[in-house]
Chain A
């Protein structure tokens, strides 16, 4: 019944304005499931680190004013943590939250907080996810984009393959 998803789909990243990053991706699942995977700690733990490491902690207090914090350990042993606060929650539709990278090499990482708006739009059982990241400055935006370089280089084993096989 459920066929194996061929994950040839790529995320699309665009820069709509100087302080913004827009990430879009379509998923072959209804939006309530995408929202669930996006906001349930155990499930976040399975995808958030991508292939760059392992999630060691995911805390989610899903209510307006509630906080979230994710921690991962990269494949080469570095601990990376992000946290933020929920600003707006419309179940399965829209999630607005702040995001702070705790390891930012600046005196006050909180000052680099971004405001992230995730929008889930369902069409024919498929979901378009759009994540708009609004940064306090172009410098913060650029630093975030630069951080991706690391991920590209650390790409090691194909964890996806393993997860997919374990689900059979």
Chain B
């Protein structure tokens, strides 16, 4: 359903491809901002803008380590998205479980055919 286009919404925060890239990168572990800039190949101000949006919805946390600012993923804030997709995912899981049974059957048939030399 239509959601308000607000930067305080996790859905909106991850709607931007570059921000998704940042999240993917941080999924691999905490990174200093310079790493993020380098990995994305964007100018520092743009990266900072994206990081700010992600921070506002709580999708990333930041802490200071001496002179470095370290960013890390906060999966908890992305939970609404996970929950939204989960029911859909569940219906496919059910379908595929049935498909597993069909495949077991096909494998058996194939085994029989080999043996029977039909």
**Which positions in A face B, CB cutoff 8 Å?**
1-2, 4-5, 7, 9-15, 17-18, 21, 23, 25, 27-29, 33-34, 36-38, 43, 46-52, 138-139, 142-152, 155, 159-160, 163-164, 167
| Interface residue range, chain B | 20 to 34
Closest B residue to A46 using CB positions: B102
**Which positions in B face A, CB cutoff 8 Å?**
1-2, 15, 17, 81, 84-108, 110-111
Q: How far is the CA of A17 from the CA of B106 in the complex (A)?
A: 35
B90 pairs with A2, CB closer than 8 A: no
A159 pairs with B98, CB closer than 8 A: yes
Question: A4, A13, A17, A142: which contacts B1 (Cβ < 8 A)?
Answer: A142
B96 pairs with A146, CB closer than 8 A: no
A11 → B minimal CB distance (Å): 4
Q: How far is the CA of A152 from the CA of B85 in the complex (A)?
A: 11
B93 pairs with A47, CB closer than 8 A: no
Question: B2, B90, B106, B107: which contacts A148 (Cβ < 8 A)?
Answer: B90
Apart from A47-B95, A148-B91, what are 8 other A-B pairs with CB-CB below 8 Å?
Answer: A5-B100, A11-B92, A27-B96, A34-B99, A145-B85, A147-B88, A152-B90, A160-B101
3 shortest interchain CB distances as A-B pairs: A148-B88, A151-B91, A47-B98
**A10/B91 contact (C-beta < 8 A), A47-B101, A145-B85 known:** no
B106 pairs with A36, CB closer than 8 A: yes
Q: How far is the CA of A146 from the CA of B104 in the complex (A)?
A: 31
A52 pairs with B100, CB closer than 8 A: no
B84 pairs with A145, CB closer than 8 A: yes
Question: B2, B17, B94, B101: which contacts A164 (Cβ < 8 A)?
Answer: B101
